[in-house]
Amino acid sequence: MPILFARVAVENTAYHFDKAFDYLIPEELLEQAKPGCRVLVPFGAGNAQRLAMILEVSPEKETQNTTKQVVAVLDEAPLLTNEAIQLVFWLKDRYFCTLFEAVKLLLPAGIHYRMKTEYALAKGRPVEKEALSKEESALIEYLAGKGKPVEREKLLKAMGLPADSPLPENLFKRGLLEKTGAAVRQIKDAAQKMVRLTGEESPSKLTPKQRAVCQVLQEAGAASLKELCYFAGVTPAVVNALVTKGVVCYYEAEVYRNPYDQVQDPAEEKEIVLSEEQQTAFQNLLAQYREETGGVSLLFGVTGSGKTSVFMRLIDEVLADGKNVIVMVPEISLTPQSLALFHRRYGRRVAVFHSGLSLSERLDEWKRVRRGEVSIAVGTRSAVFAPFDNLGLVILDEEQEHTYKSESSPRYHARDVAKFRCAYHKTLLVLASATPSIESYYYAQTGRYTLNQLPHRYGGARLPKVRFVDMNRELEAGNDSIYSRELLTEIEKNRKVHKQSIILLNRRGYNTFVSCKACGNVVTCPNCSISLTYHAANQRLMCHYCGYSVPFSTECPTCHENKVHYAGFGTQRAEEQLRELLPEVRVLRLDTDAAMTRFAYEEKLQSFARGEYDVIVGTQMVAKGLDFENVTLVGVLSADQALYGDDFRSYERAFNLLTQVAGRAGRGQYEGEAIIQTFTPENTVLSLAARQDYPAFYEGEIAVRKGMLYPPFADLCVVGFVGAREEKVARASEAFLQMLRTLAQAEYPQEPMRVLNPSPALISKVSNKYRYKLIVKCRNSRNFRRMISRLLTDFAKDRTFSDVTAFADINPDMIL
């Protein structure tokens, strides 16, 4: 038999020593150990068993006696294809993650194993009880009574020991206990009680089991309580403790194994009728797809121009060729209407990928794709990893949206992963938007992408009329409500003629900050450098970053005067005030607070479509993708908060948001109107968005980008530093800068870059961790990434800053 070695990615390795490790494949496992299969391997000085993924199997010329062997193969057949394995290495190179972090992206959360550790009394080893402590004696006696191995968690619970107790491990090292490890996985039915994270970061003081729960939720987005307890290896009490801390929250879910199981295959596919503009775009895209050379095309059309009809007609052609399609939308709130379109046309040939599904359902959808039972995957950014073997087309709808970029490691962008997959399959990537990113439009203008345009609305529908209301004059006239008199008049007119309205306020909660009239103090989060938001539903002040929450009190925590009041407006307050001002108007609020149950988005949108409400008041989730023919009025309550940010993309985001939300009006046979309330009506971005004049906006923005050397004329690499002591974090960022300067001058002088001095993050403290950033304007080349990778590795090895974490993010959507 040949001597073969497996090159594997090992779970839970640190970035600074991560690589593909070599293990000898024993003879009895040669037939099972294939690339793409998971294995157990001994790792580290203690040879603890770790989960690993085989990335390559190859013969070696020389066998070393010290080479460790694979212990077991866990999968009957490979989970990863050759394409997926190549993608793992690509993700590590591009996004500074470990190999196994990349592997986990490609697999559904429900399929992951966890390591189960069991302890038993060591055979043939006499126990000298006088040398044992009271706790050690009790543990030995407990295991002696059991007469069989006991799982670590059960053992600690039985002995009343904390989850991180070192007692069993210490007895094992002394030879008094035997330890065995195994990988276990079991998918259970979806349960009614679901769990998800409440904030962006967790408090620093969490037990190991609590951290395990958070890790599962970070990977999965949400999970049933039963599944979460299983995959994290905890009891419900651990989850309850996290709920008390405000780290996670419960929400109710219906019991579905497949929530779309009721979908029926269409009796007959209706022909899609295209306008002349749409037909031209379709023919161009079809011709590019037929070339089978790969490539990217930007489908740029005004809101309501029928971009969806164009790419659905293209999907028909791809499916007729026996190939598969991935369609991505930026967030769950857009999925229901997208799914309805695809289910009506393609029935059960559609698989769904988004975090609103349970772990079991996501695993089932992944299996359906692997088995070839479906032809189309529709979902949020995770859908880009749908395991199709014969991919023919990828569509990224609303391609400019920030949700396509992951904010945790691996910090990938779905657009870039889609480019990799389309290049591998030599097929077409279509980016669709009414307001494409500046970078995408630049690449379309300069020939890197092809460009197809739809400058008019479909079927004779016209763009909405837009008018501005100067809120300075409203205040002068004595109107201190969030609604202008003009907007209220139009909402009431709409109601009387049985038409509907959408109101955008991109800030949830009741009031946006709370302050003291006596001393002027703004009540802030003790863990983060951010003000607390008042939520009327639970009468509490909440931090939208760490989840900190306290009951509202009129007593100032600084001067103790009873003069604390709330100010600013959130969606809860906007909903309440509209009900007060127009009592007969039926108001539906749509934000993440109002849509906490599992199918809340779908249920609320369906009730609005049935005419049960006159007005939707919501955050940016109401601004994109929604298509209701009866909506003829859109109101924007606070356009200024989108305009004036600290990021170079602020104007771009404001233009996109205003253009998109105005485009929700007048999408059918009725004319539409948008009313934008602002304190700065003279701002040119507002007038350009009102006209939906993207080319004019682009010309001004691209000139600024070129002059300031921002994307697309340079790439941005942001190196972030996080730690508990601000002074230490600041010194760490300065030390990294010096390391960068030295290495760049010595070994990478050919790499063009401009480095900005380290500075505190925009929100400098989150969850009691201080944050600094270092910005490098660069060219995202392999050499540059290699240099940053070396710096991250060297920094992690420097024990001076062992309590400071450094990470790199290439072209982040938001600067830290």
Binding site annotation covers 97?
Answer: no
Binding site annotation covers 37?
Answer: no
Interatomic CA distance for residues 668 and 628, integer angstroms: 8
Structure tokens at 376: 């189309």
Binding site annotation covers 717?
Answer: no
DSSP secondary structure string for all residues of 209-228: HHHHHHHHHHHHSEEEHHHH
- Per-residue HEC secondary structure of 663-688 comes to CCCCCCCCCCEEEEEECCCCCHHHHH
Interatomic CA distance for residues 213 and 559, integer angstroms: 39
Cα distances from 81 to residues 35, 326, 370, in angstroms, run: 8, 17, 10
DSSP secondary structure string for all residues of 332-361: GGGHHHHHHHHHHHHGGGEEEESTTS-HHH
Interatomic CA distance for residues 352 and 361, integer angstroms: 9
| Cis amide linkage into residue 712, ω under 30° from 0 | yes
SS3 122: coil
Binding site annotation covers 214?
Answer: no
- Beta strand 376-379 with 324-328 is parallel
Q: Cβ(220)–Cβ(109) under 8 Å? A: yes
Using alpha carbons only, how large is the chain's radius of gyration in Å? Answer: 29
Cα distances from 452 to residues 47, 457, 700, in angstroms, run: 57, 15, 22
Structure tokens at 614: 């006159």
Binding site annotation covers 778?
Answer: no
Burial class (CB in 10 A: 0-12, 13-18, 19+), 97: buried
Binding site annotation covers 546?
Answer: yes
761 in the Ramachandran plot: left (φ > 0), alpha (ψ -120 to 50) or beta?
A: beta
Interatomic CA distance for residues 724 and 771, integer angstroms: 9
- For residue 462, the number of C-alpha atoms closer than 13 Å in the C-beta half-sphere is 8
Burial 69-90 (b: 16+ CB within 10 A, else e): ebbebbbeebbbbebbbebbeb
Structure tokens at 666: 């007048």
CA angle in degrees (0–180, nearest 5) for 154-156-157:
65
CA angle in degrees (0–180, nearest 5) for 497-502-504:
150
- What DSSP designation does 26 have? P
Please name which of 660, 587, 596, 659 lies closest in space to residue 622, comparing C-alpha atoms.
660
Structure tokens at 429: 């990537």
Please name which of 107, 95, 119 lies closest in space to residue 15, comparing C-alpha atoms.
95
Helices 694-708, 438-445: inter-axial angle, 10-degree rounding:
100
SS3 149: coil
* Residue given tokens 């991180």 in the structure block: 164
Q: Cβ(465)–Cβ(671) under 8 Å? A: yes
- For residue 542, the number of C-alpha atoms closer than 13 Å in the C-beta half-sphere is 21
Interatomic CA distance for residues 733 and 754, integer angstroms: 16
Cβ neighbours, 10 Å, residue 373: 12
Cβ neighbours, 10 Å, residue 46: 10
Bridge partners, residue 325, by sequence: 376, 393
Bridge partners, residue 248, by sequence: 197
CA angle in degrees (0–180, nearest 5) for 698-704-705:
85
Structure tokens at 606: 């369906």
Burial class (CB in 10 A: 0-12, 13-18, 19+), 799: exposed
Binding site annotation covers 525?
Answer: yes
Structure tokens at 96: 């500074």
- Annotated binding-site positions for Zn(2+): 516, 519, 525, 528, 543, 546, 556, 559
Annotated binding site: 516, 519, 525, 528, 543, 546, 556, 559
